């Protein structure tokens, strides 16, 4: 499933675009002259996250990073019933009776989609007979429960504008950049309220009308984070992912977190398009670049991911979930040492709903949740990668909410991560990410962005997030 507004077959035809001979579904090579060192290289785009990439072993939460006491219950004892003081959400979350629709206080909306677009397939109950355990025995739940009122399916904060007129928008942008100074507010009003597909049409209309490249004009008027954000918004989604991967491996050092965030969370179709775009735009083979920039089990995991061959059948095979849980236990907790290839095989091939059922089966069988087992058996980048896959199987919006939180936590802001997640999820599930963020951290995403950023950059981010 591709990103909404980005058909894999290319853009809808519009005047003068693409130029003859460049009818590929991506912008012409060399069309984006991005400045070197954007985002800043060397230091890596990600701040150091606690303990090998994800907060404390045993899943979530990490000390200090999470809401005040009272928001989270204590971890239930192995095999015992959880005691959840002060949390009474009728029939939902922590208070759910055994056999309720949820486990570990982590129910999912009935129609959470695992792809890039709106959900259509309701997920089965998850357990034979429809009963699910009401908790993860022997460990704190890795993520919080869903909010009592959760929007069904997934929704972006940006929708295509009605009565869209690419030429009128191109004219507004031209006026905003003409003469002395730049009218940033006019630029913000246009880009924050148009879908990516519409922005591509504005770009083409601008060139047709004025014989100038809109991106070059914007770059000459803007700088810093605002420039990075505007350029990201004008890149087609597949190109932006491919560009981010290229940037993460260019020059000295590799930004492994960017590779994990993109390759471990996208759908098969998205990954295949990224691989094609990477080759057509940068003349390079993504798999070869990954092999030369990473090593060991982490390299194997990323190579598996960039095949784009995960099973995407939404139906859950409970027998297989049981067998996989047994297999993973014997490859890790049930032996001396770890059989890494077994974890790689299961986590790289099974569908996200299937992995969710496997995690449930594992927690019943091993009296410990699979996320904490991965923390005990692995470390470093491969641990982060495996946990990202499991977190996406459980709750993709919660994974991105957490990444956003850590991009702004502590001194300084990891602006590249903030920009990348806000832009790439703006038409997919940013509404759900905002809901999970408020629930996990007791403050809204907009509040945190407003206190961590400034100027037009802050205005544009808040306009996209929908504050």
pLDDT at 143: 56
DSSP 431-457: HHHHHHHHHHHSS-HHHHHHHH--HHH
pLDDT in tens, 50-105: 444 443 334 444 444 444 333 333 333 333 333 333 333 333 333 333 333 334 43
Predicted pLDDT at 69: 37
Give CA 199 to chain center in angstroms: 22
Residue 144: pLDDT band by 50, 70, 90 thresholds? low
Q: 3-class secondary structure for 102-165?
A: CCCCCCCCCCCCCCCCCCCCCCCCCCHHHCCCCCCCCCCCCCCCCCCCCCCCCCCCCCCCCCCC
Please determine, for residue 236, whether its predicted confidence score (pLDDT) is greater than 90.
yes
Contacts of 120 (CB under 8 A, 6+ apart): 111, 113
- To the nearest 10 degrees (0 to 180), the angle between helices 296-305 and 380-408 is 70
Q: 49-53, 250-254, 295-299: which range is least confident on average?
A: 49-53
All residues at 6 or more sequence positions from 295 whose CB lies less than 8 Å from its CB, including other chains: none
| Cβ-contact 328, 346 below 8 angstroms | yes
pLDDT digits (tens, 9 = 90+) for 186-213: 999 999 999 999 999 999 999 999 999 9
In this prediction, residue 182 carries a pLDDT of: 79
pLDDT score for 252: 82
pTM: 0.71
Q: Do residues 370 and 390 lie in contact, with contact meaning Cβ atoms separated by under 8 Å? A: yes
Q: At what angle do helices 455-465 and 224-234 cross, to 10 degrees?
A: 30
pLDDT score recorded for residue 153: 61
**Which residue would you say has higher pLDDT here, 333 or 180?**
333
Share of the chain above pLDDT 70, in %: 67
Residue 432 confidence (pLDDT) above 70: yes
């Amino acid at each position: 499933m591709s990103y909404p507004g980005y058909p894999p077959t290319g853009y809808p035809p519009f005047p003068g675009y693409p130029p003859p001979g460049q009818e590929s579904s991506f912008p012409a090579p060399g069309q984006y002259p991005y400045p070197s060192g954007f985002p800043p290289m060397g230091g890596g785009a990600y701040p150091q996250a606690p303990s090998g990439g994800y907060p404390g072993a045993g899943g979530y939460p990490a000390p200090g990073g999470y809401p005040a006491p009272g928001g989270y219950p204590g971890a239930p004892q192995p095999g015992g019933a959880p005691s959840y003081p002060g949390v009474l959400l009728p029939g939902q979350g922590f208070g759910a009776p055994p056999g309720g629709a949820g486990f570990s206080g982590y129910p999912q909306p009935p129609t959470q989609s695992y792809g890039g677009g709106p959900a259509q397939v309701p997920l089965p109950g998850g357990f034979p007979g429809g009963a699910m355990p009401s908790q993860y025995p022997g460990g704190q739940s890795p993520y919080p429960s869903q909010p009592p009122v959760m929007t069904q399916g997934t929704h972006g904060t940006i929708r295509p504008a009605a009565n869209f007129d690419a030429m009128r928008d191109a004219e507004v942008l031209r006026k905003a950049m003409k003469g002395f100074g730049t009218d940033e507010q006019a630029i913000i009003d246009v880009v924050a309220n148009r879908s990516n597909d519409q922005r591509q049409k504005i770009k083409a209309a601008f060139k047709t009308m004025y014989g100038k490249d809109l991106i070059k004009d914007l770059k000459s008027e803007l700088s810093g984070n605002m420039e990075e954000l505007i350029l990201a918004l004008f890149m087609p989604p597949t190109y932006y992912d491919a560009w981010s991967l290229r940037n993460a491996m260019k020059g000295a050092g590799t930004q492994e977190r960017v590779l994990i965030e993109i390759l471990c969370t996208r759908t098969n179709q998205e990954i295949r398009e990224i691989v094609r775009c990477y080759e057509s735009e940068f003349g390079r083979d993504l798999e070869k670049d990954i092999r030369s920039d990473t090593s060991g089990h982490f390299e194997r995991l990323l190579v598996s991911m960039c095949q784009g061959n995960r099973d995407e059948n939404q139906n859950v095979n409970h027998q297989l979930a049981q067998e996989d849980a047994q297999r993973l236990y014997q490859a890790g907790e049930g032996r001396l040492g770890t059989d890494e290839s077994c974890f790689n095989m299961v986590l790289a091939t099974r569908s996200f709903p299937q992995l969710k059922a496997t995690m449930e089966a594992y927690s019943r069988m091993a009296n410990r949740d699979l996320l904490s087992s991965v923390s005990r058996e692995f470390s470093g980048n491969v641990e982060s990668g495996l946990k990202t896959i499991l977190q996406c199987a459980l709750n993709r919006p919660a994974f991105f909410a957490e990444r956003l939180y850590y991009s702004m936590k502590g001194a300084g802001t990891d602006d590249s991560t903030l920009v990348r997640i806000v832009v790439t999820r703006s038409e997919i599930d940013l509404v759900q990410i905002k809901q999970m963020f408020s629930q996990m951290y007791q403050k809204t995403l907009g509040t945190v962005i407003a206190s961590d950023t400034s100027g037009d950059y802050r205005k544009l981010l808040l306009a996209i997030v929908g504050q």
